[in-house]
Amino acid sequence: MGAHHRNTTGTDGAGAPAPGSIRIENVSKTFWVRGQPKHALRNVSLTIPPRTGVALLGANGAGKSTLLSMIAGTLAPDAGHIHLHGSVSWPVGFRGSFHRDLTGAQNTRFVARIHGVDTEALSDFVEEFAELGPHYHMPLRTYSSGMRARLSFGVSMGIAFDTYLIDEVTSVGDADFKAKSRAFLMARLETSGAIMVSHSMGKLREICTRGAVLQDGHLTWYDDIEDAIAHHEANMRRRARHPVTFDDDDE
């Protein structure tokens, strides 16, 4: 059994998928590490309701980032399907898709065209939000890591997705920029869902009301985030008592 459910609903009441929901159907993913199979997901099935904040919990190496990447469409499952009944962001703050030889403005317009949104409107929003000044019109190879992070977060927030994927977002910039970023993210999440990975239980509680625990390739869903956190923390205590060698490459 790949996923255990706690009264999850993701239909519109007539059996059809609810707009904005995500259905994970019999998904499996295996990596080979030093000649040994590592099962990130084993025949997992789950429906995530729309406009829901979900904390994705698990030890380092459990496969949380792998699952987010498959939901985002940047990684294919070995078996099974992921059905998106609404728009889903790339992991918020992810900077890998930007081209270093293009300017911030050019990268932003490229993303806008991919997602079918107004290029100039998104570019204007990001230019103001990211507070990069003249660097917005300079190649990304000239950016510091903090500037790239501000650009990426601005692009993520400039597009209204049905679900935001949030993978260990780290705050960047001064106190005013951090406050602005948090306020804008929370405003987006008033009408959108989120699937969030973080080592901070406090940050997860701010955004999420439900949770799912990934362990040994199996996913357990909880309608109450506190139950998910209790399960995860029990796993971590057990892991501390009986340490094992595991791979940290995937969160």
pLDDT for 169:
67
Q: Which residues contact 92 (CB under 8 A, 6 or more apart)?
A: 152, 153, 156, 157, 164, 165, 166, 167, 169, 185
What is the chain's pLDDT, residue by residue, as a tens digit (251 residues)?
A: 445 443 344 544 556 789 999 999 999 999 998 999 999 999 999 999 999 999 999 999 899 999 999 999 999 999 999 999 999 998 886 666 799 999 999 999 999 999 999 999 999 999 999 999 999 999 999 999 889 989 999 999 999 999 999 987 666 777 888 889 889 999 999 999 999 999 999 999 999 999 999 999 999 999 999 999 999 999 999 988 876 554 444 55
pLDDT at 1: 41
What letter does residue 131 receive in the DSSP assignment?
T
CA angle 121, 54, 23 (to 5 degrees): 85
List the 79-84 sheet strands across, edge first. Answer: 36-48, 22-33, 79-84
Angle among Cα 232, 167, 223 to the nearest 5 degrees reads 45
Q: Which of 173, 162, 203, 185 is nearest to 18 (CA)?
A: 162
